[in-house]
Amino acid sequence: MALGDPFDLVGDGAIGAVLVHGFTGTPYEMQYLGEQLARAGITVHGLRLPGHGTRVEDLDRTTYRDWADAVEDAFDSLRLMCGQVAVVGQSLGGLLSLHLAAHRPDVAAVATLAAPLWLDGLAGRVADWAARGALRWPAIPKLARSDVRDPAVRRENPCYDEIPTKALGELARFMKLVGGELDQIRAPVLVLHGRRDHTAPVACAARIAARTNAVRTRILPRSYHLIAADVERDIVAAEVIDFIRRNVGVKRGELSCAM
């Protein structure tokens, strides 16, 4: 399997988890977490969002509806094989997980990893300009290729080097949409965020936790944005595994996952 490819990992129980990567990223961001979940007996599907993992131009041809539909399709596919399915998302993937849970009561649980409800400073202004179609450039170079502290992960991560402006506008609109949906979520929610995140303001974690009545919130002191792959990835994996075990129940007689 090449870096950035979608992946499926079979656990040994009736619980599944859809793992959703972030904006301009690939399933690579969620690979380590997926491996730990599978070792804990949870069947995993790590999807690749439309427009990602190919060319920047492909991402600019997609909308947030395309991303949301892909997550719902992945969830429905795993639900055919697993009695209960949680959704775990990094950054944009966290927003997509929350959005799905707001509209689908059969989502068993949601874990959000550094999900942004807004962007601060210049990044926020640029995203707003992109949403209004006020940027003349087709793409913006990233100042730092990947917001992750671990140097090996930064070198290896097969993400895009640029941010396409039309897609950035879609992200800005989607952040506002999800921010207005949080009160609709009834599934248990776990909120994790890196204290040193340079992309998604850490204050977003408190907003998400308060609006969804999250069962647990944890701020990681050393991690940057891509917490599922960063220096505290073992803590992230342990938190997600414990959260799923505590909050996703399986009814007696339900079939185990089978891929």
SS3 readout for the chain: CCCCCCEEECCCCCEEEEEECCCCCCCHHHHHHHHHHHHCCCEEEEECCCCCCCCHHHHCCCCHHHHHHHHHHHHHHHHCCCCEEEEEEECHHHHHHHHHHHHCCCCCEEEEECCCCCCCHHHHHHHHHHHCCCCCCCEEECCCCCCCCCHHHHHHCCCCCEEEHHHHHHHHHHHHHHHCCHHHCCCCEEEEEECCCCCCCCHHHHHHHHHHCCCEEEEECCCCCCCCCCCCHHHHHHHHHHHHHHHCCCCCCCCCCCC
pLDDT (tens, 9 = 90+) of the chain, 259 residues, equals 688 999 999 988 689 999 999 999 999 999 999 999 999 999 999 999 999 999 999 999 999 999 999 999 999 999 999 989 999 999 999 999 999 999 999 999 999 999 999 999 878 888 888 888 877 788 888 877 799 999 999 999 999 999 899 999 999 999 999 999 999 999 999 999 999 999 999 999 999 999 999 999 999 999 999 999 999 999 999 999 999 999 997 443 444 455 5
pLDDT the model gives residue 131: 83
Q: What is the CA radius of gyration of the chain?
A: 17
Report which DSSP code applies to 96.
H
- pTM here? 0.94
> What domains are defined for the chain?
7-246 (3.40.50.1820)
Q: Are 83 and 108 in contact (CB under 8 A)?
A: no
Q: Are 1 and 34 in contact (CB under 8 A)?
A: no
Burial class of residue 143, CB neighbours in 10 A (0-12, 13-18, 19+): exposed
User: Which is it for the CA torsion 35, 40, 45, 46, positive or negative?
Assistant: negative
End-to-end CA distance of the chain: 17
